[in-house]
Amino acid sequence: MTSSLSIADFAALFGTTPEALPKPCIDLIKKGNWAYQPYTRDERDQIILDFLRRLRDRHFSFVTEGDKKRWIEGWGENLKEFKQSSGDLEKLTPKYIRPNMPVRLNGDFVKTDDPFFEKHWYAVFQEWLLLTYFQGFDHIFEFGCGPGHNVARLAELYPKATVTGLDWAEPSVEIVENLRTLKGLNTKGRQFDFFKPDYTLDIPPNSAVLTVGALEQTGDNNAAFLDFLMAKKPKLVVHAEPTYDWYDPNKLVDHLAIAAHELRNFWRGYHERLNKLKDQGKVEILKTKRAYFGSLVLEGYSQTIWRPV
């Protein structure tokens, strides 16, 4: 049986109402092919078997503190293509987005008609997230900005704001610098390491912070970055990240995400720390929302939105 994601489904996944979706998001939703089907029992068994084999064979990329080689290589390719194309923003798509993969939806794997379903879903999510939470700031900082696609979109949407893209990988910083020199966008690139936050970075009043699938790369060593944010006091912090704490270990498909999250040494402990700070009255948590959507391996877009008090 084929279903299709409706405007109401998108709103529910984002944790909002259809009325609150900005028009550009509605337009993107109307343009897309959101048809999907459940897998047959045999197909689902095969996906789970392959997943278990990958876990057994440790066939994943891992978070290893201090090792930024694969990011330098990956973003280096995007940088090269971006420069060769004289600034084609399509060249900022991460290479690890592969077509025709199962996606996670509402706790199960589904088969989609659009081979680039996740990429197109993300375009709607990105537009919604950036239009909903980043209006009216003078400065926006994306930490772990990778290929710079969020930085580029933020700078297009908010030309009066300065958008700073930070990453520990040099080519990523160079992409953000090229967004200014090739595209005329109001962007700045700067190197930054979550493990050794640079306190000389000025976060002026009326600043917002974004991370997307970046803090996931910190294992259990993310207290330094949280301390940094607490010290710098941005007005708003928005994380869209896979969130270990919100999977249900009693559900098979969630259980696989938990196992992959643990094996890959993805981030943990941050929400515990944030909740302690909330109990101490030091932060206000404005929204938490499990994504209920993601790739084969995990739900990458769970929202945690908060601010230091």
Ligand X SMILES: C[S@@+](CC[C@H](N)C(=O)[O-])C[C@H]1O[C@@H](n2cnc3c(N)ncnc32)[C@H](O)[C@@H]1O
Q: Determine the Cα–Cα distance for residues 228 and 199; give it in Å rounded to an integer.
A: 7
- In this chain, which residue has its C-beta nearest to ligand X? 146
By CB under 6 A, residue 294 contacts ligand X: no
Closest distance to ligand X from the beta carbon of 15 (Å): 19
- Interhelix angle 69-84/170-183, rounded to 10 degrees, is 20
**Count of positions on this chain that bind ligand X (CB under 6 A):** 20
Strands 162-167 and 139-143: parallel
By CB under 6 A, residue 163 contacts ligand X: no
Q: Note the Cα 5 to chain centre separation in Å.
A: 20
DSSP category for residue 90: G
Interacting positions 34-73 with ligand X (CB under 6 A): 68, 71
Applying CB under 6 A, among 156, 170, 177, 193 the residue interacting with ligand X is 193
By CB under 6 A, residue 212 contacts ligand X: yes
Choose between 169 and 297: whose C-beta lies nearer to ligand X: 169
Alpha helices (H) along the chain: 7-14, 23-31, 41-56, 69-84, 117-133, 149-157, 170-183, 223-232, 252-263, 270-279
Query: x/- site string to ligand X, residues 110 to 149, per CB under 6 A?
Result: ----------------------------------xxxx--
Choose between 68 and 278: whose C-beta lies nearer to ligand X: 68
Please give the single-letter amino acid code of residue 96: Y
Applying CB under 6 A, among 109, 125, 168, 270 the residue interacting with ligand X is 168
DSSP category for residue 171: H
List residues binding ligand X (CB under 6 A). Answer: 68, 71, 94, 144-147, 150, 167-169, 172, 192-195, 212-214, 217
